[in-house]
Amino acid sequence: MARTSATWPLIASSLRPGQWTKNLLVFAGLIFGGRLLDPQAVAAAAAAFAIFCALSGAGYLFNDVWDREADRSHPLKQARPVASGELPASTALAAAGVLAATGLTASALVAPALAVVAAAYGLLLVLYSVFLKHIVIIDVLAIAGGFVLRAIAGAVAVAVPFSAWLLVCTTLLALFLGLSKRRHELVLLGDAAVDHRRILNEYSPYLLDQMIAVVTASTVIAYTVYATSAETAARLGTGRLGLTVPFVLYGIFRYLYLVHQKRGGGSPAAMLVTDRPLLACVGLWIATVAVLMYSPLGK
């Protein structure tokens, strides 16, 4: 009994609830689809959020089991329950299976289309852990794919069309975060980087800085075009979304500052909740979008 009681906190820790902020992206369809004031749509989006938290938690458990040997050489990851040996691999896999089955079943109850997206997301997580993260550039694109699937899931859950521009912006922003994460790993681990993750041998801080520069500029341009286009104004009912561009600029610049000056970037989710200026920027962006779309001020 004592052993079982001690296992639950280890499983909960391995689910990495601090990373679940990434799943908030499923609410983009609710907000930009104009259904924020629809209780039924809000409930469906909340269900999609819970489903993706379950699926991502299952993915983290599977990844911890698959990477447990490599994680033992990492200064931070070696403390994870599976890598440290506190949580048996068989227990972690069993919990992952239960979470995945629960998430997929729930997604089918919400909407058949959501079940398809959820299954694709789960498959991507497995492929990434086993195969994709060992292929240069594809590893970061796979991370971006996970963010895009979250955005699509949020849209199909509330039955609204998703904008191609929104998916482009999501992809670029996810690439920005993924490349910054790779840079952080290289800087943190130094010469031991390759011992932890072989793919890091294919990157260098200079190469990653070049990629980040390209993606940063592309993200700002894509969002600006999206926010100021006549098509967006007609679809969202406001021609003033361009007022949110300064928040995007500050958020990206603040993140770059944390990456380069504070050696951050290892966990975008952790940076979001621990860096107050960044958190305030995201909060103000969301509030401004909501006001512009759902109040007379945006008309």
Rounded to the nearest 10 degrees, how much is the dihedral formed by the CA atoms of 73, 134, 209, 181? -50
The whole-number pLDDT of residue 33 equals 87
Q: Higher pLDDT residue, 201 or 253?
A: 253
- The per-residue pLDDT for range 238-260, each reduced to its tens digit, is 889 999 999 999 999 999 999 88
- Going by pLDDT thresholds of 50, 70 and 90, the confidence category of residue 173 is very high
Compute CA distances 135 → 130, 184, 187, 190, whole Å. Answer: 11, 18, 20, 20
Q: The domain 9-161: what is its CATH number?
A: 1.10.357.140
Q: Higher pLDDT residue, 186 or 298?
A: 186
The whole-number pLDDT of residue 1 equals 39
The whole-number pLDDT of residue 2 equals 42
The whole-number pLDDT of residue 184 equals 83
Helix axes 164-189, 205-228, angle to 10 degrees: 160
CA angle 28, 181, 252 (to 5 degrees): 55
Q: Could you tell me the residue ranges of all domains in the chain?
A: 9-161, 163-299
Computed over every residue of the chain, the mean pLDDT equals 88
The whole-number pLDDT of residue 195 equals 61
Please state the rounded mean pLDDT for residues 127-137: 91
